[in-house]
Amino acid sequence: MDLVAAGDARAFEAIYDRHGGAAFSLAYRMIGNRAGAEDITQEAFLAIWRSRLRYRRERGSVRTWILGIVHHRGIDALRRNLVHERRRTSAEGIEERQEAPERTDVEAARREEALAVRRALEGLPDGQGQVIELAYFGGFTHTQIAEMLGMPIGTVKGRMRLGLEKLRHTLGPQVA
């Protein structure tokens, strides 16, 4: 790991050769499909290369550190899949839940308002829009969002605050 920390690509290759199988196996057990496990393993090893200076020998073995990163990436993937599944499930069959095809003035106004909010969300920087969507549409807490995105909770709260301020400014008092 000392060579990897110094940026030695061959040493990193040796780390991958030694621990890649265990990393893939863990990801596969978590996700249950090969393609997803491959993606998680690749993301994890990219994260390992980027954060190679963070490894501390006194905290545990290289294998434990790597499998911990894979585990966190797997949890993130499961949560992303859960959010997408919730959205898809709630969108399916929405027509059957509508009692009448008639559009009242209130419904029309609500649809226009929803469209304005969607457009305003799309206009936010990615980080701000992402944390707002996870909180308000995904139902996740600030702490869960911080864990999912791998960032400090203060960053999540800051992006949330800035994003909401921009939405208030963009949408005006009638919608916000």
Instruction: State the DSSP string of 87-106.
Output: HHHHHTTHHHH-S-S---HH
Domain containing residue 20: CATH number? 1.10.1740.10
Evaluate if residue 176 carries a pLDDT over 50. no
Question: pLDDT for 84-105, tens place per residue?
Answer: 676 666 655 555 555 555 557 7
Residue type, 5: A
In this predicted model, which residue has the larger pLDDT, 118 or 75? 75
Nearest Cα to Cα of residue 84 among 18, 10, 134, 35:
134
**Cβ-contact 171, 123 below 8 angstroms:** no
The total number of structural domains in the chain stands at 2
**pLDDT value at position 133?**
81
**Cβ-contact 67, 22 below 8 angstroms:** yes
Which structure tokens are listed for 71? Answer: 């585990």
In this predicted model, which residue has the larger pLDDT, 10 or 116? 10
Full-model pTM: 0.47
Question: pLDDT for 106-140, tens place per residue?
Answer: 777 777 887 888 788 888 887 888 888 878 777 77
Same domain, 31 and 69: yes
Domain-located, residue 95? no
Domain residues for the domain of 150 are: 105-170
Same domain, 57 and 10: yes
**pLDDT value at position 146?**
86
To the nearest whole percent, how much of the chain has pLDDT over 70?
A: 85
To the nearest whole percent, how much of the chain has pLDDT over 90?
A: 18
Same domain, 11 and 74: yes
**Cβ-contact 148, 76 below 8 angstroms:** yes
Domain containing residue 153: CATH number? 1.10.10.10
